Amino acid sequence: MMIDWANLQSWEVILGILAILLSIIAIIVTIKFRSQKSLSYTIKTNVSLLTVKKEAEDKLEIYFDGKKVHDVYMVVIKLFNSGNVHIGKADISQKIIFTFGDKAQVLSVDIVNTDPENVDVSLVQDDQRVIVIPELLNGGDSITFKVIVNKLDEIKVTGRISGVKEIKKASEWLVPPALVYLSVIFVFVGGFMMIIYADVASWQRIVGVYMFILGYALLIGTALKYPKSRKKFIREFVECAGFSLTD
């Protein structure tokens, strides 16, 4: 069947170009996130527990575990493997160290939880920093720990990991947001074209079927690739489509 290019409407041409561009984007995104080694962290809590005003400093003394304090914060940090390639102890050439400012004083550090529960990790503290020593972090594994700090300034992290450019402060969501929107666009634009051209044997219908299948393939492939973010990915997909989910 030959396409009569002379009689094509401008919107038909636009739809065709859009389908081609979306296909190219899907291929690029799939290649980019095919194998990714990444370590990230997020600050879940950063709250002041105690602040002594300057006018009361000479008259009021407060101690925490034998140490004098006057500006105490509780910081909860989640360190997680945000890629899909495992990170082992042998991959860490320079220790993962969290610092809290030149004048900061780390008072205590405790593990809040790990996901999964059997993640083996050690935490070492000194006056101004916390060293995190994980044995193994598979894709999606996480360590959440709580730090009590006096004179908190700026939270920074350093470390050197094979295959990882830097430890980034990032979202806890492991699935690239672009995949959600691509899936929505492919499925709904493809479905719309299939409905509009259901009774017509046209190239638009073929493009619609192609986009619809590609959208669902992207959805299923992403859910399989990022199993620990599957529920959140599906929730975002549904909400992008204009619906809502309740737990």
- Which structure tokens are listed for 75? 């910081």
Give the Cα separation of 150 and 130 in Å (integer).
13
Element (DSSP H or E) covering residue 32: helix 10-32
Digit-coded pLDDT (tens) for 143-194:
999 999 998 999 999 999 998 989 988 765 555 556 666 777 777 777 777 7
Residue with tokens 């809590």: 45
Q: For 95-109, what is the mean pLDDT?
A: 94
Digit-coded pLDDT (tens) for 111-133:
999 999 999 999 999 888 999 99
How far is CA 200 from each of CA 157, 171, 187, 203, 204, rounded to the nearest angstrom? Answer: 59, 45, 20, 9, 9
What pTM was estimated for this model as a whole?
Answer: 0.62
**Tell me, what amino acid is at 133?**
I
Give the Cα separation of 133 and 28 in Å (integer).
35
- Which structure tokens are listed for 110? 């405790």
Burial class (CB in 10 A: 0-12, 13-18, 19+), 217: middle
**pLDDT averaged over every residue in the chain:** 76
